[in-house]
Amino acid sequence: MNTIWLGFSQKLLKVDRYIKKSFTYQAIEKTFAIILPFIIIGSLSMALSSSVFSKQGFFNQIYDISSWLPYEDVIKKVLEIINTVTMNFIAIMTAFLSAKYITRSFKKDEQIAGFTGAIGMLILNYNLASFTSDSNQETFLMQDLGIRGIFISLILGVFVGYIFKWFSPRNKQEKVDQYTFISRGVGGLLPLAIVLGILIGLTLLASMINQMGVNGLFYSLFRLTEIKSKHLIITILFLAFFNSILSGVGISGPLGIMQGGLDDTSIVSNLSYSLKHGTSFGVPFPISIHTIYDSFGSFGGTGMTMSLIIAILVASKNKNSRKIAKFSIIPSLVNINFPLMFGLPIILNPILMIPFIISPLVSMIIGYFFIYFKWMPPAVYNLPRTTPAPLMAFLGTNGHWSALFVSGIVLVVTVLIYIPFVKLNNQAALIDGGDLNEK
């Protein structure tokens, strides 16, 4: 077994090294490093705002915080401001930085390229419906300028970089005077015009299909509206598998997109049965996204990243990884994992993507068998999205202790899955010159 793992790990390290040597990955890595503090602060404010200061928040509903906390509305507004200026514009920052660093690798004008990327992201998310005189809609599609727009912004950054490579003059070390500045600006005209023309054309074409913009049109490809399968658990496992792969490359997967809508019928039917019979054993839909994925497959967010945090704190000696894990604890409690996705990072990391994909599948299979053999009732109560994931099944079954026991098993098993890959990621960081000092 050790021989098999050794051979597999060496191949995985080679793949990891191959990816990280590419200038595109290095540009993306630098981009993530710059946006990370905004991600951390934004995630913390989002976690507090959605779980403590929102009427639908888990902790607000339990402790009725809105009724007794002084200046609760002021605190909520402050958190919303922080969230808006960090997370809601993160895709624009990403477009700027990725375009800048890609263009730098080609020894072209990185500053003009960066601003071109930022402006390009705004063009792709321009709301053409706001042109109509009777419309009160926002000028930009704000939902796609945040985390949801990260993937498109990275693609845009690479695109802008290559346009500047092909259509702008090479930088020269000239004497810095007014003529140098003018020639620099003129040199950026052609690539800027090409990028603007292409992106405006794409935006107009997308508007002919729907009003969601280019990013919204892209995400509509992954939207699911209905699940029909004789073997529902297989479908749910496939969706979770697909969801994790997409998340691993920076795309919000189908489970993230359809949360709160796809399972409504089964949730209502199960809840009605449970209230009528006084038990959730025998509900009409014991296997569903709510009873399997929500309850056991997303501790801390997509990929069971709560288990990753524990694995890092238990087994990692990498100071940077441990810092990211500690910053991620509070957001992870309410199923927000952005600091881990961009800080370690998990995105485009072939080592961490393997347990990121496997862990939800294993955890859901464990939950499925306990429900299938009626050792545990399925969760029927629809809880706030900010409910700490290990409590989701327990509270969803109205406090059935077997559900808490299974959640504990799931957490331990997935931590054990992550640990060898965390150690391997430490080894990769050491090879790359990362900090592997003792804590």
Any idea which residue has 């930088």 for tokens?
171
Of residues 420 and 228, more confidence is placed in: 420
Whole-prediction pTM: 0.87
> Which residues make beta-bridge pairs with 126?
140
Phi-psi region of 260 (alpha: psi -120 to 50; beta: other; left: phi over 0): left
pLDDT tens readout for residues 327-369: 999 999 999 999 999 998 999 999 999 999 999 999 999 999 9
> Which run of H or E residues covers position 232?
helix 232-248
Cβ-Cβ contacts under 8 Å for 279 (sequence gap 6 or more): 377
425-433 average pLDDT score: 82
CA pair distance 235, 260, nearest whole angstrom? 18
Cβ-Cβ contacts under 8 Å for 34 (sequence gap 6 or more): 93, 97
Token pair for 268: 């209502």
Q: Average pLDDT, whole number, for the chain?
A: 85
The domain segmentation of the chain, as residue ranges, is 70-220, 232-431
Cβ-Cβ contacts under 8 Å for 335 (sequence gap 6 or more): 298, 299, 300, 301, 385, 386, 388, 389
Please give the pLDDT value at position 110: 87
Of residues 172 and 364, more confidence is placed in: 364
pLDDT tens readout for residues 230-262: 568 888 898 899 889 988 888 877 776 445 445
Number of residues that make up the chain? 439
CA 42 distance to own-chain centroid: 13
Cβ-Cβ contacts under 8 Å for 46 (sequence gap 6 or more): 79, 83, 87, 331, 336
- Ranges 94-103, 137-146, 204-213, 379-388, most confident: 94-103
pLDDT tens readout for residues 82-135: 988 888 899 999 999 999 999 998 888 888 999 999 999 999 888 776 666 555
Please give the pLDDT value at position 131: 65
377-386 average pLDDT score: 86
Coil, strand or helix: which one is 126?
A: strand
Give the amino acid at 188: G
pLDDT surpasses 50 at 162: yes
214-237 average pLDDT score: 69
216-228 average pLDDT score: 62
pLDDT surpasses 80 at 218: no
CA pair distance 186, 169, nearest whole angstrom? 10
Poorest-confidence range of 141-145, 401-405, 409-413?
141-145
